[in-house]
Amino acid sequence: MGWGEEIAEQDERVRRAGLEIWLGAEPTFTLRESQDPPWLWQAEGGDKEMRAAALLADLAPRLGAARLQRAPGRHFPEEPAPRFCLGALLRRGPPAPAAGGLDGPPLPAPAPGPDERWLTVTPDPGVVEVNLAPSPDLATFAADAQACYRAAAAAGLSPVRFRYNGQVSDSGGGGQLTLGGPSPEASPFFRRPQLLPRLVRYLHHHPSLSYAFSPDCAGSAGQGPRPDEGVREIFDELPVALDRLAARGDDLSPAELWSALAPMLVDPSGNSHRAELNVEKLWNPHLPGRGMLGLVELRALRMPGTPARLTAVAALFRALAARLATRPFEEPLRDWGRTLHDRAALPFFLARDLVGVLQDLDHQGFGLGPLLSDELTAEEAPLALVPLGGARLELRPALEFWPLQGDVASQERSTARLVDASSARLELRLDTGGGEVGRLSAGGWELPLQQVARGLHLAAVRWRTFAPSPGLHPGLPAHDPLRLCWERGGEAREVLLHGWRPQGGGYDGLPADGAEAARRRAERVQVRSLPPPAVQRAPPGPALTLDLRRLPLAS
């Protein structure tokens, strides 16, 4: 069964269950080679509007646009005027030429008819955001995503960004998804009122759904924090709300559902827009014109690098919604404690948990198929592979949770917030094949190892990659390069992870392409043989991750 057949099979499974679950997305694109403010942190300016118009002009005929127009854009208090908003009314049937144009004054967005959909292209800090028209099925969503990425490329825009040192990140604008129905009244969250409470419970039990696809900035300072990453007192009230909703069964009105969960699904400042599950457009009477649409937005998602990846992530959450709409999930919430930001930060545990989610979908009749599943579970190449005497050490970047500095600015008051991004985390995966483990150290301190399978051990280390200004812990130096050592059977290998060019000096501009970015990443990793060094044993602690920032420089 090919990619298209798996998508068609997924659509058929949802239809057989008597469900209509529409998909929306907000892919974001940047001008990868630019260091100008509009493509880094400003919302508008430069050539951003010109490229947004070019993107829409290329995309509209691909999707059958019947009309193009300017629409009113969002107006933030600190900005002098509303942002631009370029819209297209899509109509089913054969394409052309679209009526209207983008040069006139903003007009109110049209109310789409039964066979019409509304799409917009708008600016956000550093990116252009495409608010794709809602798709009635996964096949339509996949086709729209493919057309969107092609149109962005034609406008010179990219879903990824390369840093000077070769590090790859997403566009910087996120890749949110929305779930809803053909109309507010037909929303699956209202037709199946237990769907949303079950979704809250399920995401809480499976951290991979919060972190496996998250942006670089995750946790309470991110754009989509989990309920247990916010205010503790609010999270303690969530089980009460969920239990009361479960007791009501399907006898729930949209207003009751929204009012019960909206105060709980918020970020630490109480902002319902910045939450893993954003329900501000579910049935919100306080958001005129767009608050009562029956929509739930999934925000803990990075911008995928390919349309195939975006489609696979959308398929996962749509299948999960179908599973929860038709099968019970009433598991009580658990207190993850520090393990949430310790074990769940590591790729190994996230991959294991995600496989469990996919197996559950298979068991409940909404499995994705091998191709879609492989797209979700494929691991990126490790930073380094270090062989030693028949064993192997793999180094993989792990998730890090950067703290917010200063005021937890609300989305309504500010479009950007400052975090201390100077810490990084690394997973060390040691495959011994059942033989001797040896000893791992970082910065001269022995790393605690945990056996996770036969012949497979894990360790993790956190370190400071640079000294920020402004930032936390003034005077704390960077661990650059990070020195790792693995000794086994009387031999030792040292791995040096440099944050910048090992030979010193700056880079000659940004990487031109993925190959150049990979070359720069590779040159920052150095491996050499050396005699087994002396190491110090760190004080025992409850966490799997050893935080070098809390230890003195080893002698």
Q: What is the tens place of the pLDDT at every residue in 1-34?
A: 799 999 999 999 999 999 999 999 999 999 999 9
| pTM for this model (two decimals) | 0.95
Radius of gyration of the chain, Cα coordinates, nearest whole angstrom? 24
Q: What percent of the chain has pLDDT over 90?
A: 80
**212 DSSP 8-state letter:** T
Type of residue numbered 289:
G
Q: What percent of the chain has pLDDT over 70?
A: 97
Per-residue HEC secondary structure of 496-525 comes to: EECCCCCCCCCCCCCCCCHHHHHHHHHHCE
- Residue-wise pLDDT for 270-319, tens only, equals 888 889 999 999 999 998 888 999 999 999 999 999 999 999 999 999 99
- Residue-wise pLDDT for 344-402, tens only, equals 999 999 999 999 999 999 999 999 999 999 999 998 899 999 999 889 999 999 999 99
| Position 413 pLDDT exceeds 80 | no
Please tell me which of 215-219, 289-293, 477-481 the model is most confident about, judged by mean pLDDT: 477-481
Burial of 430 (0-12, 13-18, 19+ CB in 10 A): buried
- Residue-wise pLDDT for 327-338, tens only, equals 999 999 999 999
| Cα–Cα–Cα angle for 401, 402, 404, rounded to 5 degrees | 130
pLDDT band (50, 70, 90) for residue 416 = low
Average pLDDT, the chain: 93
Tokens 């193009």 map to which residue?
A: 68
What lies within 8 Å, CB to CB, of 111 at 6+ separation is none
Please give the pLDDT value at position 290. 86
Mean pLDDT over residues 461-490, rounded? 94
> Helix (H, G, I), strand (E, B), or coil: what is residue 215?
coil
Work out the number of other CB atoms within 10 angstroms of the CB of residue 432: 20
pLDDT band (50, 70, 90) for residue 554 = low
> Helices 307-326 and 347-363 sit at what angle, rounded to 10 degrees?
50
**43 token code pair:** 């919302």
357 sits in which H/E element = helix 347-363
Mean pLDDT over residues 420-442, rounded? 93
Please give the pLDDT value at position 342. 96
Kindly give the pairing relationship between strand 65-70 and strand 456-464.
unpaired
Task: Tell me how far apart the alpha carbons of residues 236 and 93 are, in angstroms, rounded to a whole number.
Answer: 51
- Residue-wise pLDDT for 249-262, tens only, equals 999 999 999 999 99
554 sits in which H/E element = none
Q: How far apart are the first and last CA of the chain?
A: 59
Please give the pLDDT value at position 407. 63
Mean pLDDT over residues 218-231, rounded? 92
| Position 435 pLDDT exceeds 90 | no
Which of 508, 530, 521, 201 has the alpha carbon at shortest distance from 333? 201
Boundaries of every domain in the chain: 1-25+175-379, 27-173, 384-550
Task: Tell me how far apart the alpha carbons of residues 357 and 370 are, in angstroms, rounded to a whole number.
Answer: 14
The answer to whether the beta carbons of residues 369 and 9 sit under 8 Å apart is: yes
The answer to whether the beta carbons of residues 180 and 317 sit under 8 Å apart is: no
The answer to whether the beta carbons of residues 43 and 113 sit under 8 Å apart is: no
The answer to whether the beta carbons of residues 458 and 430 sit under 8 Å apart is: yes
Task: Tell me how far apart the alpha carbons of residues 439 and 487 are, in angstroms, rounded to a whole number.
Answer: 5
Task: Tell me how far apart the alpha carbons of residues 200 and 184 are, in angstroms, rounded to a whole number.
Answer: 20
| Position 411 pLDDT exceeds 90 | no
What lies within 8 Å, CB to CB, of 42 at 6+ separation is 125, 126
pLDDT band (50, 70, 90) for residue 539 = confident
Burial of 314 (0-12, 13-18, 19+ CB in 10 A): buried
**Residue of 27 and 107 predicted with greater confidence:** 27
Task: Tell me how far apart the alpha carbons of residues 136 and 311 are, in angstroms, rounded to a whole number.
Answer: 14
**77 token code pair:** 């208090």
